């Protein structure tokens, strides 16, 4: 008996996502496809999973391990869609992201895709913004990325995520380090770079900002 085909890569992503939210069997099949042999189907499944996360992310809690594994697929789209899914899951239960940190670190240094690097940075910043301990955990990775990708096309968006980190529950040590890292751009930068750097610096503890 042939295996039932619940969806194909030619289906409408939004339609499959809408059905998957109300159909556990279909949702499980979509997640399983992330580890399948077809690159095209993996990419489609990743898009569906991300769409599900935008509407009912709690449905994906039980699949955190499978999603983390998908961060090791070779194609960029699968990785950036799943990284975006994990970013949404931070708001559901940040502990789910623990499984994804290794994959996110690898993605942060992706040599081919700026979109993947940005998605990883966004995830790490969102995760770090939840508690002081988590901010300390991810700060070395974030600081390195800020230094490495300064001037890249994705850098302004990275600064928006860095602001999310330091305006959240980051530790004072992280806020101070971020302020020191962005001080030059806050003083000597131009346009959007200067504006976002200044907002990051302004998040440092007041005792530090009053020092000359």
pLDDT bracket for residue 1 (50, 70, 90): very low
pLDDT at 3: 60
Whether pLDDT at 209 is above 80: no
Q: Which of 82, 39, 37, 38 is nearest to 64 (CA)?
A: 82
For the chain, how many structural domains are there in total? 2
Residue 4 has pLDDT above 80, yes or no: no
> Domain residues for 36?
7-96
Residue 85 domain flag: yes
The verdict on residue 89 lying in a domain is yes
CATH number of residue 58's parent domain: 1.25.10.10
Which of the four pLDDT bands, split at 50, 70 and 90, describes residue 194?
very high
Residue 195 reports pLDDT greater than 70: yes
Q: What integer best gives the mean pLDDT of the chain?
A: 95
CA distances from 140 to 47, 59, 108, 125, 187 (A): 30, 32, 12, 11, 23
Specify burial of residue 98 (Cβ count, 10 A radius: 0-12, 13-18, 19+).
middle
- Residue 151: its pLDDT value, please? 87
pLDDT digit string, tens, across residues 131-145: 999 999 999 999 999
If asked whether residues 14 and 90 sit together in one domain, one would say: yes
């Amino acid at each position: 008996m042939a295996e039932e085909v619940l969806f194909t890569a030619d289906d409408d992503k939004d339609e499959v996502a809408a059905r998957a939210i109300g159909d556990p069997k279909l949702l499980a099949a979509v997640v399983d496809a992330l580890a399948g042999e077809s690159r095209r189907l993996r990419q489609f499944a990743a898009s569906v999973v991300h769409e599900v996360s935008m509407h009912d992310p709690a449905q994906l809690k039980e699949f955190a391990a499978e999603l983390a594994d998908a961060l090791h697929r070779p194609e960029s789209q699968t990785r950036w869609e799943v990284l975006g899914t994990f970013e949404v899951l931070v708001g559901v239960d940040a502990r789910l992201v623990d499984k994804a940190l290794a994959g996110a670190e690898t993605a942060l240094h992706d040599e081919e895709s700026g979109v993947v690097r940005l998605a990883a940075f966004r995830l790490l910043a969102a995760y770090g913004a939840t508690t002081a301990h988590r901010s300390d955990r991810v700060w070395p990775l974030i600081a390195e990325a800020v230094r490495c990708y300064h001037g890249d096309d994705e850098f302004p968006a990275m600064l928006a995520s860095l602001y999310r980190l330091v305006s959240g529950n980051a530790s004072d040590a992280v806020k101070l380090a971020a302020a020191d890292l962005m001080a030059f751009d806050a003083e000597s930068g131009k346009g959007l770079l200067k504006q976002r750097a200044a907002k990051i610096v302004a998040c440092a503890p007041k005792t530090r900002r009053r020092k000359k």
